[in-house]
Amino acid sequence: MAWVTAYQLKMKINSLRLRFSIWVAVMLLVVLGAFGTYVYFTMSRGLFLAFDDALALNASQVIAGLEINNNQLFLPENLTESPEKSDPHLQATIRILSPDGKTLQTSGSVFLPLPDLESIPSFTTWTDPGGGQTMRIYSAPVSDNGYLLAVVQIARSAQLEQDTLQRLLTTLLLGSPILVLLAATGGYFLAARALAPIGVITRTARRISATDLSARLNLPHNDDEVGRLAATFDDMLARLDDSFHRERQFTADASHELRTPLAAMQAILSVIRERRRSPKEYEQALDDLAEETARLSGLTKDLLLLARGEIQADLHPQLVALSDLLNDLAESLRPLAEAKNLTLDAHIPDKLSLSGNSDNLIRLFVNLLDNAIKYTEHGGISLAARAERHSVVIEVKDTGLGILPEHLPHIFDRFYRVEASRTHPGSGLGLAIAREIARAHGGDIQVDSDYGKGATFTVRLPAL
């Protein structure tokens, strides 16, 4: 039980929502700390600059109102008793010093230290040892024609400013942790809400196996990152399910197609071994076995070609003179068409070329032309090519029976054969291989058919 508790605790600590809330708290704490420091020092600087400006203004007013009596400077009577004496924090202490540092007159009860006469005018901060107050002192010279006549000192308590700063500091120190705690809590719950679909994805992924890919998230569609992730996950599951379904179908069809020549070979051997045969019968049996062996060999080669992806691996693109290749194919297959009283016309412009593998391209167009000849009983086959802006288009058109609309979407599937075509020899892999070759070259292949009037296969390949 303790182990389970420790494990659950570890899972919670490692959870993304907890780490998100911690990061939010740390970042907010840093931001608040920097902002609070800036506010505090800006406020402190602003308060004391205003305080010093007020002291300097008071000093200039005092200097302007000094009276001379017996060659000595004295404070006017209206300054000897301050009207602000009711508030000790606003009371100002004024002192007049002679050039040699002797006190000539003082207004106020606070004892002030002597200034450094060589550095006036100057501001100094001093703490009254008697009352413990922090005083801000401004010392200003009184001069006449460049001669120092006296020094005026004016001081005032900075307690109000310090109290203001202390309250600001207390507010920042107490408010920041509270804001950080609220932000961390809010971040945790927001992260939990935002990441809830991730939990659904995790649970769904655990239920998925190679034999059952039907599970879906089916989350409400939201146009955000998590919503797009859920939609992408569902799309991926659909593609995987379709891929596994097609692979299972491919395996079943391959097994069926492989069993057919093997069963035929076994039947031939069983019949021929029932009794002694004549040499002619043995020769016929060997011919039949050779035919089935050739069929099995071709089927195996095509299966390996598709299963291993050797079309892409063997591409090795090079410059291919497409015009010459198509004309040569037409010449090679024309006798096969003429044997069925069909015509094979080629309309190929000169100097067509592209980058690809000539062997694979030959296999592609031989498959298309062979199919056209095989499923055309009268009329002819037309092989045409043309250059477009960024591609080369090759069309193989026949006047055969054509393809029903319900078969068109599946005509390039592996082992797919229209029922009416099963009387013709073949494995159902020719068009699948042709499409793989076209896609390996960066192109594609399409078919259009008007049932009863023939079919047109269009190959579009990228031009140089």
CATH number reported for the structural domain that contains residue 294 in this entry: 1.10.287.130
Is 206 contained in some domain?
no
Say if residue 106 is in the same domain as residue 12. Answer: yes
Is 406 contained in some domain?
yes
Say if residue 14 is in the same domain as residue 74. Answer: yes
In whole angstroms, how far apart are CA 120 and each of 49, 124, 326, 346?
A: 18, 10, 104, 108
Is 200 contained in some domain?
no
Question: How high is the pLDDT of residue 313?
Answer: 45
Say if residue 123 is in the same domain as residue 267. Answer: no
Is 320 contained in some domain?
yes
pTM for this model (two decimals): 0.46
Q: Are strands 134-144 and 147-157 parallel, antiparallel or unpaired?
A: antiparallel
Say if residue 53 is in the same domain as residue 185. Answer: yes
Is 220 contained in some domain?
no
Say if residue 285 is in the same domain as residue 378. Answer: no
What average pLDDT does the structure give for the chain? 79
Say if residue 231 is in the same domain as residue 174. Answer: no
Give the Cα separation of 344 and 331 in Å (integer): 9
Respond yes or no on whether the N-terminal peptide bond of residue 141 is cis (omega within 30° of 0): no
Of 307, 326, 346, the residue at which a domain comes to its end is 307
Question: How high is the pLDDT of residue 445?
Answer: 93
Query: What CATH number has the domain bearing residue 189?
Result: 3.30.450
pLDDT tens, residue by residue, 355-381: 988 888 988 898 899 889 988 988 999
Give the Cα separation of 141 and 121 in Å (integer): 6
More confident residue, 132 or 441: 441
Is 203 contained in some domain?
no
- Domain total of the chain: 3
Q: Are strands 343-347 and 380-387 parallel, antiparallel or unpaired?
A: parallel
Say if residue 6 is in the same domain as residue 89. Answer: yes
Query: Is 158:136 a contact under the CB 8 Å cutoff?
Result: yes
More confident residue, 161 or 116: 161
Give the Cα separation of 400 and 403 in Å (integer): 9
Position 261 pLDDT exceeds 80 = no
Of 307, 325, 351, the residue at which a domain comes to its end is 307
> What average pLDDT does this structure show over 3-31?
69
Say if residue 445 is in the same domain as residue 300. Answer: no
Query: What CATH number has the domain bearing residue 386?
Result: 3.30.565.10
> What average pLDDT does this structure show over 268-296?
83
Give the Cα separation of 171 and 8 in Å (integer): 38
Of 175, 194, 213, the residue at which a domain comes to its end is 194
Domain range enclosing 52: 1-194
Say if residue 177 is in the same domain as residue 268. Answer: no
Question: Is the C-alpha dihedral spanning 104, 108, 112, 116 positive or negative?
Answer: negative
Is 448 contained in some domain?
yes
Say if residue 261 is in the same domain as residue 127. Answer: no
21-25, 65-69, 74-78, 97-101: lowest mean pLDDT where? 74-78
Is 219 contained in some domain?
no
Say if residue 302 is in the same domain as residue 401. Answer: no
69 — pLDDT class (breaks 50, 70, 90): low
Residue from 431, 323, 319 nearest 369 by CA: 431
Segment of 100-109, 326-335, 426-435 carrying the highest mean pLDDT: 326-335
Question: How high is the pLDDT of residue 273?
Answer: 83
Residue 22 tokens, joined: 């911690």
Query: Is 32:179 a contact under the CB 8 Å cutoff?
Result: yes
Query: Is 85:91 a contact under the CB 8 Å cutoff?
Result: yes
Say if residue 180 is in the same domain as residue 58. Answer: yes
Give the Cα separation of 151 and 320 in Å (integer): 103
Residue 446, helix vs strand vs coil: strand
